């Protein structure tokens, strides 16, 4: 009887121990254990902010936890990114929506307090938006070759939304590759730059697709080329700059990309959970419809591939900034 009781107790204790280990293991592996903070390193209302809020809503549904958007603008995204780079006790539940400012900032701010590659982990590139080389509707230039040939003989002006923006750097890259005479004309954002372009006060711009798409379709602007590797499905008749085949433009491929990053201490388990959730988000109809409204393509890289993309972008913009003499 005692032997039977002992055996029964042993079995029960073993089961309880196994159950306890299972519960403890599950508890140890559960992430997130708190609200997730999604930092937007720009002011409310722009593409980065609007995208972040849409992603936050969908991510919240995927992870069944609160995803709180926090705007921390300043110095071309380097203020909010710098705070993330410092880490801290909430770094394991904080992500940031990075964009070209992340790689351009490293080129134009020599005293940057963080390394744009080594201080972060790269989760998922969410969308890519091509820039569009556009001229006013009454411009005499019907294609890129005509524009380049004219710009070699006379000074042209190009508008941009601020020093170090992807629009500004695209213009500088074009100027460098084609060896043309072009003067950058800065504005306080694309909203201020657009009227000058529509009114013919500047000769050309390399604007983000969402800003100019409706004006191209209405005939108020003429699209000469897109800056992506392939033609955009939203402007299928407009060639890429790399298609031009002359003036070194086969090297001109750039997009306004937007992707989620975290501090280098972000736990591996959190990275796995987040990447799986983001992959699900990017397959949802709500996300795909939103990307289409922006004239964007869903991002193609995550993890190590996303990191390598960042490395190459940092090198590219550093070269452009040095040649153009841009620094802040």
Regarding predicted confidence, which is higher, 254 or 124?
124
pLDDT band for position 187 (50/70/90)?
A: confident
* Nearest residue to 95 (alpha-carbon basis) of 225, 217, 262, 220: 262
What is the reported pLDDT for 188? 79
Q: Is the pTM of this model over 0.85?
A: no
Distance CA 161, CA 164 (A): 9
Residue 28 has pLDDT above 70, yes or no: no
Whether residue 9 has pLDDT greater than 80: no
Answer whether residue 23 shows pLDDT above 80: no
Secondary structure (3-state) at 327: coil
Measure the CA–CA gap between 129 and 120, rounded to whole angstroms: 23
pLDDT in tens, 289-301: 999 988 899 999 9
Contact 185, 93 (CB under 8 A): no
Average pLDDT (248-253) is 87
In whole angstroms, give the CA distance from residue 86 to residue 250: 39
Q: Which two tokens stand for residue 275?
A: 């990447």
CA 242 → CA 137, 222, 230, 311, distances in Å?
Answer: 23, 18, 9, 22
> What is the number of alpha carbons within 13 Å of residue 183 lying toward its C-beta?
7
**Residue (of 235, 232, 236, 282) closest to 253 by Cα position:** 232
What confidence tens digit (pLDDT) does each residue in 188-224 have? 777 888 999 999 999 999 998 888 999 999 999 999 9
| pLDDT tens per residue, range 62-73 | 999 999 999 998
Q: Choose between 80 and 6: higher pLDDT.
A: 80
User: How far are the Cα atoms of 58, 71, 183, 200, 232 from residue 134, in angstroms, in the given order?
Assistant: 34, 31, 16, 11, 14
Helix (H, G, I), strand (E, B) or coil at 41: coil
| Buried residues in 208-241 as b, exposed as e (16+ CB within 10 A) | bbbbbbebbeeebbbbbbbbbeebbebbeebbbb
Assess whether pLDDT exceeds 60 at residue 5: no
Q: Which helix (H) or strand (E) holds 212?
A: helix 209-218
Report pLDDT for 301: 96
- Is pLDDT of 22 > 50? no
Residue 152, φ and ψ in degrees, nearest 5:
-80, -20
What pLDDT does 29 receive? 53
* Sign of the alpha-carbon dihedral angle for 106, 111, 113, 114: positive
Per-residue pLDDT reduced to its tens digit, 95-148 = 999 999 999 988 888 888 999 999 999 999 999 999 999 999 999 999 999 999
The distance from CA 114 to its chain's CA centroid, rounded to whole angstroms, is: 18
- Contacts (Cβ under 8 Å, ≥6 apart) of 250: 242, 244
β-pair partners for 255: 130
Q: Give dist(CA 255, CA 99) in Å, integer.
A: 10
**Contacts (Cβ under 8 Å, ≥6 apart) of 141:** 135, 147, 150, 224
Q: Do the Cβ atoms of 181 and 151 come closer than 8 Å?
A: yes
Q: Which residue has the tokens 């085949």?
A: 245
């Amino acid at each position: 009887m005692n032997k039977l009781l002992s055996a029964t107790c042993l079995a029960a204790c073993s089961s309880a121990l196994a159950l306890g280990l299972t519960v403890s293991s599950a508890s140890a592996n559960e992430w997130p254990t708190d609200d997730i903070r999604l930092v937007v390193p720009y002011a409310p209302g722009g593409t980065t902010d609007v995208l972040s809020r849409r992603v936050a809503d969908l991510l919240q549904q995927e992870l069944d936890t609160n995803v709180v958007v926090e705007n921390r603008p300043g110095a071309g995204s380097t203020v909010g990114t710098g705070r993330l780079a410092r880490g801290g006790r909430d770094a394991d539940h904080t992500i940031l929506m990075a964009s070209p400012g992340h790689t351009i900032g490293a080129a134009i701010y020599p005293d940057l307090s963080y390394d744009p590659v080594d201080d972060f982990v790269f989760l998922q590139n969410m969308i890519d938006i091509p820039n569009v080389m556009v001229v006013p509707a009454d411009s005499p230039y019907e294609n890129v070759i005509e524009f380049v040939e004219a710009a070699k003989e006379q000074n042209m002006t190009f508008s941009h939304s601020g020093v170090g923006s992807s629009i500004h750097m695209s213009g500088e890259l074009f100027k460098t590759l084609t060896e043309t005479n072009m003067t950058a004309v800065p504005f306080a954002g694309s909203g201020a730059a657009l009227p000058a372009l529509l009114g013919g006060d500047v000769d050309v711009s390399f604007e983000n697709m969402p800003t100019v798409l409706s004006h191209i379709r209405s005939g108020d602007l003429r699209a000469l080329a897109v800056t992506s590797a392939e033609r955009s499905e939203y402007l299928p008749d407009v060639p890429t700059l790399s298609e031009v085949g002359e003036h070194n433009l086969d090297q001109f491929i750039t997009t306004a990309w937007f992707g989620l990053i975290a501090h280098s201490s972000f736990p591996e388990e959190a990275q796995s959970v987040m990447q799986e959730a983001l992959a699900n988000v990017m397959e949802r109809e709500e996300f795909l419809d939103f990307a289409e409204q922006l004239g964007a393509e869903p991002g193609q890289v995550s993890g190590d591939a996303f990191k390598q993309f960042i490395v190459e972008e940092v090198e590219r913009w550093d070269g452009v900034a040095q040649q153009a003499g841009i620094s802040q």
